Every structure is written in structure tokens, then in C-alpha cells.
Structure 1
Amino acid sequence: MSEKNREGKRTARERLAMEREKQKAQERRRRTLIVASAVVGVLGLAAVVGVIAANSGGKDEKESAGPVVVPKGANGEDGLAIPVGKESAKSTLAIWEDFRCPACAQFESMYRQTIHELVGKGQLKVEYHLATIIDGNMGGTGSVRAANAAACAQDAGKFTPYHDVLFQNQPPEADDAFAKNGKLLELADKVDGLKTPKFEKCVNDGEHDSWVARSNEAFQKGGFRGTPTVQLDGKDIFGDQKNPLTPAKLKQLVEANAQ
């Protein structure tokens, strides 16, 4: 091998090493470590699970002032779960999400249709728990504002379609676009019958901000690895690299329990 070729390979290795160190530094600064991926369907799509530092999300403590207004129909301990589906369903899927979380948007994109199908058949009920960890990691208030707006949509009986619209229109993680109530109200136009004066007031007044803060506090105290955390009947089914979840597998588990 010529000296020129050796030098070229050495330079390439150095560039690669520098890039890896740069990526590691970025990960440390953000305190986010990607630890799991689930291969999904025949297209080989991947779902990424983010691990978030337990002490993130300090902004919620400021938001927690004032009375806690529980969204209409919320249940579970302290009314922190937003239920979707028939109570008689034999399987319960608990999902912890952050509307700014890219891995949550990926999860929703891959599993939304299957979840809606199983809920529609009366075989599955879903309990949504809202977290705001990206605000703590990246700065901003978009997670809180979007969660409050989603809680306002729950009051109006429109949680599911608005929840889906938020994830379908999620900005890049570093873009705090959801911090603007105007953006959240603009997206509400995509849900029939949602954008009413009552909904607008709820969003602009931050009516459920303290509830959102309490929900995030419960998430942090729960010892979960990050968002999304997905549990089927109390068992974590999403973060296992050795046995990755797929929409087909989720459907199989729920349908087997329904028999």
C-alpha cells in the first residue's frame, strides 16, 4: 500500500472518530440516549425509544401553580389517565407520550392504525399519560402547551383525533412550535367541531397546565425509561430489543386475550 493510500485511510478514520465524539457530546448535552429499536412490518421500519434523564423537566414545577383541573372523563390515580375505548375491553394499553418526542411520533405512525382497529372492535382500551420531558431536555414549553391543548380536546370529546393531528404535524424536536397557542389552535381546525370559543379559552388560559405538571411528575416518579413507554396489561412490551414489538404482534396479543 502506498504512503498516499495509508494517509487517506488514516485521515478518514480520524474524521470518523471526530464525528463520533461530536455525536457523543451532543447526546450528553441533551441527556438523551437511544437504546432500542423495533423492526416493524415487511418494510423494516424502526421505532426508536428515547431514554431521558430522571431529573429533566424542571419547567413543570413553575407550571404547577394553581388548581389542578382534571380533564373531563380522565381516570386512574389522581385522574391522570385519558381513557379511549370501551371499559369492557379485556386488554388495556397504557401509553406515556410527549407531543414533542420524535420517538413517540414514530410509534404513533407505526401503530396508530392497529390501535384504532382494536379499539373499534371493543378488544382494547387505551390509557394515555402525557409527559413533558422534551421541554426539560431541549428547553421551551411546547410539550406543556400541546399537552394542555390535548386535555382541552378531551373536555370537548375530541381527544383521539386531536392527539393524532398533533403527532402527524409534530415539528422537529428542536423547534418549539407547539409553544405557540396559535399553532395549536390552527391544528384544531383539522378536527371537525373542536375549535370552539370554549376550546380556545381553555388553550389560551392554560386551564390544564397544573394537571399536565402533575402528570409529568407522576411519569418521572414512575421510573419509566423514557417516552414512549408502552405497557399491555401492566407489562412493558415496547422496549425489548430481543423481542421487538410489531403491529401484528400487538394485534395477536390483544386478539388472543379477547377470546
Structure 2
Amino acid sequence: MSENQERKRVARERLQQEQAREKAREKRRRTVIVASAVVAVLGLAAVVGLVAANAGKEDDGATEAGPLLAPSGAQGEEQLAIPVGATDAPSTLTIWEDFRCPACAQFENALRDTIHELEEAGQIKIEYHLATIIDGNMGGSGSLRAANAAACAQDAGKFVEYHDVLYMNQPPEPDDAFADNGRLIELAGKVEGLDTPGFRSCVEEGKHDAWVNKSNAAFQAGGFRGTPTVLLNGESVFPTKGNEQISVANFKKWVKEANKNKPPGSRRPAEPGAEGSASPQTPAS
């Protein structure tokens, strides 16, 4: 190899190295990880990464995403909470989640059965709030599209089942597969009775996009560290409560302590889109 060729080779390698460094710097600027830990839950290593909200993305979506239409049965301030469980349950579990958030999936997949068990026993009621911070941090629209689809499932009285299906089938964080409405409709087939013309129309038209954007703006304005944010009666329990890490055993203990000498709830409202009420069912994975 001539001296001239060797100089060219070295120059190319330096250019490639600089490009790789610049790419890494850009990724760090777009994605901020504010906490990372490993928590043992049910013998599994659950990676707990709180993904910070992306500053400067606040938008109530009222203009770009059409009229603000809350899903059926939404409650709370500005109707931004999707309620699940007995209205008179002694404790409230508030969960802020993003369907693209891997830490949210770790939390849900590890604690799902326990949360359902306590909810069905009237020990807790749950208020779900949806955020789209991964779209802001990573680019894409999968957080928004999945949240809209989940709101459409709420209209049909199938929120819990579809919510669980989305987390059981969450794509890798860089893969914006949930941006495809066809994929979201395909997953609806795993929930009995959900894949209807009404649900498909709701998903494809983005009926609840503005509501999702409003919810995300409320998340950003709330001063939360990231997703998932999990509060038991207003006190954070994820990834820790005090000096104790979250686990199935600890979560049950915390609920028991919060509910001491309080009767379980029994008043259940009729589910949206259905006659009477029904308990959440475990969906297919």
C-alpha cells in the first residue's frame, strides 16, 4: 500500500469515528435517562429506567389533533383519568404510563396479576393516565397512536384488556411499530369483542388524539420524574417507597398497611360500552 493510500485510509477512519461520536452525542441529547436500577420482581430482573419527560413538548392538541374528545367514563380533573375498580375502594393507585416506555412494560408485566387481584378484591381502584414522552424523546408517533387506541378500547369497555395486550406485545423502544394503526387493530383481535368497525374507525381517525395530547401536557406540568409514575394514595411507590424497593410482596404489604381497618370497596359502575359491570380478564399474549 502506497503512503498516499495509507493517508487516505487513516483519514477515512478518523472521519467515520467522528461521525460515530457525533451520532452518539445526538442520541444523548434526545434521550435522557434520569434513573436506572435493577429490581427483582417474581424472580425476574426488571430493568427500572425512568425516562424523563421531554421539555418543550407541551401541547394540548386542541387545534392540530381536532376537537378534544375524552373517552367514555373518563374522570378526574379535565377528565384525564381512566378509572378501573370499585369507586369506594379504600386506596387509589395512580399510574402515569407511555405505551412505548420499556420501564412501564417491566412494571406492568411484573405487577399485572397483583394489581388485578387487589382491584378485583376491592382493595384498590386505579386511575390510568397516558403520556407520550417517548415520541418526544425518540421521535415517531407510536405513543400517541397506542394511547388513542387504548382510549378507543375504553369507549368499548375493554380498556384493561387492551392495555395489557399492548404491554405484552410492546416493540423494542427504537421500533415505532405502534405508529401503525394496522398493528394496533391487529392486536385488538386478542381482546374478545374489541375489533369492531367502531373501534377501527376510532383508531384510524385518531378520535382521542387531542385528549391524549392534553393528558401528556398535564403529565409534563405535573413535575413528575418520568414514566412510569406510580402513586399509592399520592405517595410514590416506584421504583421504591422509602427505603424499600417495589416487589409483589412489598406492594401487597403497602396496600395492606394503607387499608388497615378499612372495608373493601364494592360499588362498581357500569363499564363504558357495556351493560352492567365486569372484572378485567387476562388477555392473550
**Pairs within 5 Å for 1:141-180:** 141-180=141-180
Paired residue type of 1:37:
A
CA RMSD of aligned residues (A): 2.3
1:74 aligns with 2:86: no
Paired residue type of 1:251:
K
Paired residue type of 1:177:
A
1:245 aligns with 2:246: yes
Aligned to 2:126: 126
1:84 aligns with 2:84: yes
TM-score, normalized by length of structure 1? 0.85
- The 1:44/1:183 distance shift into structure 2, 3 A limit, reads closer
Task: Identify the range of structure 1 (71-80 vs 55-64) with the bigger mean alpha-carbon deviation.
Answer: 55-64
**Pairs within 5 Å for 1:91-130:** 91-130=91-130
Aligned to 1:194: 194
| Distance in 1 between residues matched to 2:164 and 2:44, nearest whole Å | 23
Post-superposition Cα deviations, 1:196-234, rounded to whole Å, max 9, x if no partner, equal 111111011100000000000000000100000000000
**Pairs within 5 Å for 1:45-64:** 45-55=45-55, 57=57, 61=61, 64=64
Structure 2 stretches lacking a partner, 5+ long: 1-20, 262-285
Quote the offset at 1:41 in angstroms: 3.7
CA contact (8 A) 1:37 1:244 kept: no
Paired residue type of 1:204:
E
CA contact (8 A) 2:145 2:181 kept: yes
1:256 aligns with 2:245: no
Quote the offset at 1:65 in angstroms: 3.7
| Distance in 1 between residues matched to 2:31 and 2:37, nearest whole Å | 18
Structure with max Cα Rg: 2
Quote the offset at 1:58 in angstroms: 6.2
Aligned to 2:204: 204
Post-superposition Cα deviations, 1:50-87, rounded to whole Å, max 9, x if no partner, equal 23144154687587542110110110000000011111
Quote the offset at 1:135 in angstroms: 0.4
More helix by percentage: 1
CA contact (8 A) 1:74 1:81 kept: yes
Structure 1 stretches lacking a partner, 5+ long: 1-20
Paired residue type of 2:245:
P
* Aligned residues with identical type, % of pairs: 57
Quote the offset at 1:37 in angstroms: 2.5
- Secondary structure of 2:245 counterpart: coil
Aligned to 1:6: none
Paired residue type of 2:256:
E
TM-score, normalized by length of structure 2? 0.78
- Secondary structure of 1:174 counterpart: coil
